[in-house]
Amino acid sequence: MIDFTNKPLFLAPMAGFSDLPFRNVVKKFGADVTISEMISSNALVYESSKTLHMLERSELEKPYIVQIAGGDKEILKKAVEILNEMDFIDGIDFNCGCPVNKVVKQCAGSALLNDLELFKTLVGVIKQTNKKKLTSVKFRLGFNEKYPEKMATICENLGVDFISIHGRTRKQLYSGKSDYNSIGFAKASVKIPVIANGDIDANNALEVYNITKCDGLMIGRASIGNPWIFYEIKHNKKVEEKLKKEIILTHFEEMLKHYQNQAVSIFRKHLHEYSKGHKEASAFRDEINRINDAKEMIKKIDSFF
């Protein structure tokens, strides 16, 4: 299912970015495992059509993991039962890392690191209910302090297949540096595969492996505007500008297929990222903000990149 002997590269779940078109693009250029955007168990159980649209996967996505979040035992159980009925899903990941206030206030995401008894109960419910081949958990180093080995041990004892650890506490949000030594400490405390996450890019990937001794890497924010990062890590070489342009155009085509009329406006945020570091980038961003026609957008991308 996932070959951990080959140090797989994962795309991290990112709200508003790791949608189906983006996951399709990174799969074409070196990502081994893709995970859906974080899905609220509440939204899934009370079935909004938007949530079901977010669950769709592309042909290339094998294996494909859906990440759910929540703090209520019964609702999480129902959410997993709904996912069990969807045969295109290979695994379920439980989010215990999201630091956003809105999520934490619902006693979900990284709030669970403040209550390890509840963490244990909810991970147990997901593991027992899940009929998919894979159950995984993503968490941070802790809430205010660092104690990743505690969560790692709980997950291992409950039969979780692998864990992903973001190298910051909830308190840090996204400030400061990711602490790879602490991930390495957690890795040494368990036998299940551990995936390192946080501030990983093509320049430090090897160093992260060396420090953490982890079984794979999970790339998040560094892939936005840079989906070829997986190729660069795997092949240890830069992607040529010509191929980058091809990737950007492919990404836009995928967006048009998935979002139809909304694609042009949604893709602007990606183009803002793709254009960073280019000459005349601010003028380009200004122009695309006013474009509403797909053909015109393709021409603009073609001439700028």
Active site residues: 98
What are phi and psi for residue 137, nearest 5 degrees?
-135, 135
d(CA 296, CA 305): 14
Q: Are 57 and 22 in contact (CB under 8 A)?
A: no
d(CA 297, CA 264): 7
Q: Measure the CA angle with vertex 57, ends 51 and 61; round to 5°.
A: 145
Q: Measure the CA angle with vertex 85, ends 83 and 88; round to 5°.
A: 75
d(CA 27, CA 239): 15
- Burial per residue of 223-262, b for 16 or more beta-carbon CB atoms within 10 angstroms, e otherwise: bbbbbbbbbbbbeeeebeeeebeebbebbbbbbbebbeee
Q: Residue 166's beta-bridge partner residues? A: 140, 197
Q: Are 14 and 220 in contact (CB under 8 A)?
A: yes
Is 96 in a helix, a strand, or coil?
A: strand
The amino acid sitting at 206 is L
d(CA 52, CA 44): 7
Q: Are 159 and 135 in contact (CB under 8 A)?
A: yes
